[in-house]
Amino acid sequence: MPKIKLSQKTIEIVKEICASFENNEGELINVLHETQHKLGYLPAEIQELIAIELNMSVAKVYGVVTFYSFFNMIPQGEFPISVCMGTACYVRGAEQILHEIKRQLNIEVGQSTPDGKFSLNCLRCVGACGLAPVVMVGDKVYGRVAPQQVRKIIAEYQEGCVKPERHEM
Amino acid sequence: MDMINLTIDKKPVTVKRGTSLLAAAAQVGIKIPSLCYMKLEDLNIENKPGGCRVCVVEVEGRRNLTPACCTDVAEGMVVSTHSIRAIHARRTVVELILSDHPTDCLKCAKAGNCDLQSMAQHLGIREIHFEGEKSTFREDTSPAIIRELDKCIRCRRCEMMCNEVQSVGALSAINRGFNAVVAPAFEMNLDHSVCTYCGQCVAVCPTGALTEKDNTGAVIRALSDSTKTVIVQTAPAVRAALGEEFGDEPGTLVTGKLAAALRRLGFDYVFDTDFAADLTIMEEGTELLSRLTAFLGGDKDVKLPMLTSCCPAWVKFFEHQFPDLIDIPSTARSPQQMFGAIAKSFFAEKIGVNRKDLVVVSIMPCVAKKYECSREEFSENGNPDVDFALTTRELAQLINLANIDFKSLPDEDFDNPLGESTGASVIFGTTGGVIEAAVRTAYEVFTGKKLQRLDFNELRGMEGIRHATIDFDGLPINIGIAHGLGNARKLLEDIQQGKSHFHAIEIMSCPGGCIGGGGQPYHHGDAEILKKRQMALYREDAGKPIRKSHENPFITKLYEEFLGAPMSDKAHHLLHTEYFDRSKNGN
Ligand code: SF4
Ligand code: SF4
Ligand code: SF4
Ligand code: FES
The tens digit of pLDDT for each residue in B476-503 reads 999 999 999 999 999 999 999 999 899 9
Question: Atom 1, ligand 4: which residue's CA is nearest?
Answer: B34
3-state secondary structure of A167: coil
- Rounded mean pLDDT of chain B? 95
Q: Looking at the predicted structure, is the pLDDT value of residue A69 above 90?
A: no
CATH value at residue B310: 3.40.950.10
Q: Report the nearest atom of ligand 4 relative to the CA of B50.
A: 3
Q: How confident is the model at residue B135 (pLDDT cuts 50, 70, 90)?
A: confident
For Cα atoms B428, B430, B436, give the angle at the middle one, nearest 5 degrees.
55
pLDDT for res A72: 85
CATH value at residue B267: 3.40.50.1780
Residue B180 lies in a domain: yes
| Inter-CA distances, A14 with A36, A45, A169, Å | 10, 11, 11
Residue B130 lies in a domain: no
Q: How confident is the model at residue A1 (pLDDT cuts 50, 70, 90)?
A: very low
Q: Are strands B56-59 and A135-137 parallel, antiparallel or unpaired?
A: unpaired
Q: Where a domain ends, among B350, B374, B408? A: B408
Number of domains in chain B: 4
Structural domain boundaries enclosing B568 = 281-333+421-575
What single string gives the DSSP state of each residue in B129-152? --------PPPEE-SSEEE-GGG-
pLDDT for res B194: 96
Burial class (CB in 10 A: 0-12, 13-18, 19+), B554: middle
Statement to judge: residues B434 and B533 lie in one domain: yes
Residue B219 lies in a domain: no
For Cα atoms B458, B461, B464, give the angle at the middle one, nearest 5 degrees.
110
Q: How confident is the model at residue A168 (pLDDT cuts 50, 70, 90)?
A: low
To the nearest whole angstrom, how far is the Cα of B169 from the nearest Cα of chain A? 5
Residue B226 lies in a domain: no
Statement to judge: residues B293 and B342 lie in one domain: no
Lining ligand 3 with CB less than 6 A are: B 198, 311, 313, 365-366, 368-369, 508-510, 513-514, 517
Q: How confident is the model at residue B202 (pLDDT cuts 50, 70, 90)?
A: very high
pLDDT for res A162: 46
pLDDT for res B578: 96
Statement to judge: residues B467 and B517 lie in one domain: yes
Residue B249 lies in a domain: yes
Statement to judge: residues B510 and B545 lie in one domain: yes
Average pLDDT over residues B315-335: 96
pLDDT for res B515: 98
Statement to judge: residues B18 and B34 lie in one domain: yes
Residue B221 lies in a domain: no
A85 with A93: CB under 8 angstroms?
no
Whether B185 and A58 lie within 8 Å, measured CB to CB: yes
* pLDDT, tens digit, 9 for 90 and up, residues B94-134: 999 999 999 889 999 999 999 999 999 999 999 999 888 88
Statement to judge: residues B146 and B248 lie in one domain: no
**Cα–Cα distance for residue pair B143/B82, rounded to 1 Å:** 45
Residue of B nearest to A42 (CA): B186
Statement to judge: residues B102 and B86 lie in one domain: yes
E strands in B52-117: 56-59, 66-67, 78-80
Statement to judge: residues B193 and B160 lie in one domain: yes
CATH value at residue B88: 3.10.20.740
What single string gives the DSSP state of each residue in B177-204? GGG-EEESGGG--GGGTT-----HHHHH
Percent of residues, chain B, with pLDDT higher than 90? 94
Q: Where a domain ends, among B408, B430, B456? A: B408
A7 with A167: CB under 8 angstroms?
no
Distance B169 CA to ligand 2 centre (A): 15
pLDDT for res A166: 56
* pLDDT, tens digit, 9 for 90 and up, residues A9-65: 999 999 999 999 999 999 999 999 999 999 988 999 999 999 999 999 999 999 999
Statement to judge: residues B384 and B265 lie in one domain: yes
Residue B586 lies in a domain: no
To the nearest whole angstrom, how far is the Cα of B194 from the nearest Cα of chain A? 9
pLDDT for res B585: 59
Within 8 A of B175 by CB-CB distance, chain A residues are 66-67
Cα distance from N-terminal residue to C-terminal residue, chain B: 50
Choosing from B153, B161, B179, B195 the residue with most ligand 2 atoms within 8 A of its CB, the one to mutate for a pocket test is B153
**pTM score, whole prediction:** 0.90
Q: Where a domain ends, among B408, B437, B456? A: B408
Whether B172 and A1 lie within 8 Å, measured CB to CB: no
pLDDT for res A122: 85
Strand partners, B141: B146
Residue B167 lies in a domain: yes
pLDDT for res A167: 61
At what angle are helices B312-321 and B485-496 packed, to 10 degrees? 50
Statement to judge: residues B261 and B348 lie in one domain: yes
Q: How confident is the model at residue A3 (pLDDT cuts 50, 70, 90)?
A: low
Statement to judge: residues B341 and B324 lie in one domain: no
- Rounded mean pLDDT of chain A? 87
Q: Looking at the predicted structure, is the pLDDT value of residue A164 above 60?
A: no
Chain A / chain B CB contacts < 8 angstroms? 44
Q: Looking at the predicted structure, is the pLDDT value of residue A161 above 70?
A: no
**Cα–Cα distance for residue pair B587/B582, rounded to 1 Å:** 6
What single string gives the DSSP state of each residue in A115-127? TSSEEEEEES--S
A65 with A42: CB under 8 angstroms?
yes
Statement to judge: residues B93 and B47 lie in one domain: yes
